[in-house]
Amino acid sequence: MGAINLATQLTTNYGLSKLYCDSNNIGEDGAEAISECMEMMDSLKKICFENNAIKDRGVIALAKALEENDTLLSLYLENNQITQVGAKEIG
């Protein structure tokens, strides 16, 4: 629920360039919620989502958001629960 609330706030923070959310248990729903607002975040350059229980569904949502966001340079997803299915989509 916290990541969903964070996503709502991110839609009004247009100057954010780095988002560090390591070890916050964002999970699938949180990754999807944040990915939905990534299109509007044209100043965002770096996202750190390490150790967040993100699985394939969440990483696939992030991959789709990256198709619309051309400013993000770095996305850190280490130590999540991503299988080859999700890795293929994001890679």
Choice between 2 and 30, residue whose per-residue pLDDT is larger: 30
* Distance separating alpha carbons of residues 63 and 88, to the nearest angstrom: 10
Q: Which two tokens stand for residue 6?
A: 């964070």
Q: Quick one: pLDDT band at residue 12, thresholds 50, 70, 90?
A: confident
Nearest to 19 by CA among 50, 60, 55, 63: 50
The H or E element that residue 63 is part of is helix 56-68
Q: Which two tokens stand for residue 73?
A: 């340079």
Structural domains of the chain sorted by starting position, each given as residue range(s) with its CATH number in brackets: 2-90 (3.80.10.10)
* Phi, psi of 19, deg, nearest 5: -125, 110
Q: Quick one: pLDDT band at residue 56, thresholds 50, 70, 90?
A: very high
